[in-house]
Structure 1
Amino acid sequence: MQTEKYRGYTLWGHAILHQENILQRRRFAGSGTIMRDTKVVEVSGVLSSFDTDEEAESAGLSWCRAWVDSHG
């Protein structure tokens, strides 16, 4: 999980292992969570599937920044 502060919000980028069976390569679902103080403001749901956990987390953070920019 990656986190950053952005325009008064705390942003979280999540990576969730997404593998339907052991014969498939590992994939990660990405999502984002936006918080202000200790309250959840918005949650993205699953954005897409990625090859690495870092890509999934980065996509979550990008979604969060875009949401803040469009609602600020």
Structure 2
Amino acid sequence: MQSQSYHGYQVWGHSIVELEGQLQTKRYAASGTITLRGKLVHASGVLGHFDSEVDAELAGLDWARAWVDAHS
């Protein structure tokens, strides 16, 4: 999970490991969350699936920043 401050909000990018069968490689589902002063403002559903944990987290952060831009 990665977080950062953005225009007064705290934005979060999450990665959730997905294992489909024991022989397949790991994939990561991305999601994002926005909080303000410690309270939940909005959370995404699954934004996509990625081969890298970092890529999934960055997708969540990108989504959260875009949400803040659209709602500020």
- The alpha carbon displacement at 1:13 in A equals 0.3
- Residue 15 of structure 1 aligns to a residue whose secondary structure is strand
| Distance in structure 2 (CA, Å) of the matches to 1:12 and 1:56 | 11
**Which ranges of structure 1 fall in alignment gaps of 5 or more residues?**
none
Percent of aligned positions with the same letter in both sequences?
A: 53
| Distance in structure 1 (CA, Å) of the matches to 2:2 and 2:22 | 26
- The alpha carbon displacement at 1:24 in A equals 1.1
Q: Deviations over 1:8-52 (max 9, x none)?
A: 000010000011211111100000000001110000111000000
Q: CA RMSD in A?
A: 0.5
Residue identity opposite 1:35 in structure 2? T
Q: TM-score, normalised by structure 1?
A: 0.97
**Which ranges of structure 2 fall in alignment gaps of 5 or more residues?**
none
- How is 1:50-69 mapped onto 2 (pairs within 5 angstroms)? 50-69=50-69
Structure 1 position 38 matched with structure 2 position 38: yes
| Distance in structure 1 (CA, Å) of the matches to 2:33 and 2:21 | 27
| Distance in structure 1 (CA, Å) of the matches to 2:62 and 2:45 | 14
Runs of 4+ off more than 3 Å: none
Q: TM-score, normalised by structure 2?
A: 0.97
Give the number of aligned pairs.
72
